[in-house]
Amino acid sequence: MIKIKRAYEPVEKSDGVRILVDRLWPRGKSKHELAIDEWLKEVSPSTELRKWFSHKPDRWHEFLEKYFEELDKLEDICAQLRTKAKRQSVTLVYAAKDSKHNNAVALKQYLERH
């Protein structure tokens, strides 16, 4: 099972394995507060794509297309995430304010489709 959660929401036991999927560490949060089990910067969008997208909802569909192309090149890491999610609950942690248009939502979608 794959869930997503904003870094600023409280940590819960039901989160299972918590994986930070942002390239940048969430502002104002300590390692202890986030209770992150793993930080997978590699699965976050490239710096260029992240800056281009800039969390603009009108760019969402094009962002998905470009981000999925980047994820296609990370087959091994994505396969490991899918395997982990089959065995236990996995929560993809992100920092963005927009809960509908962010890389964790896109990554979850990608992992569930492939």
What HEC string does 5-44 produce? Answer: EECCCCCCHHHCEEEECCCCCCCCCCHHHHCCCEECHHHC
Domain count, the chain: 1
Mean pLDDT over each residue of the chain, to the nearest integer: 96
Q: Average pLDDT of 27-54? A: 95
Mean local confidence (pLDDT), 71-100: 95
* Numbers of helices and strands, H then E, in the chain: 5, 4
pLDDT attached to residue 85: 94
Average pLDDT of 52-76? 96
Provide the token pair at 91: 């929560």
Provide the whole-model pTM: 0.94
Asked whether residue 74 carries a pLDDT value surpassing 90, the answer given is: yes
Q: Looking at the predicted structure, is the pLDDT value of residue 114 above 90?
A: no
pLDDT in tens, 98-110: 999 999 999 999 9
Query: Which contacts (CB < 8 Å, 24+ apart) does range 97-102 have?
Result: 97/55, 98/55, 98/57, 99/6, 100/57, 101/55, 101/57, 101/60, 101/63, 102/55
Show Cβ contacts of residue 28 under 8 Å, excluding neighbours closer than 6 positions.
none
Query: Per-residue confidence at 80, pLDDT binned at 50, 70, 90?
Result: very high
Distance, in Å, from the CA atom of 26 to the CA atom of 36, rounded to the nearest integer, reads 11
Range of the domain at 58: 2-113
Q: Which helix or strand (DSSP H or E) is residue 4 part of?
A: strand 2-6
Range 55-83 average pLDDT: 96
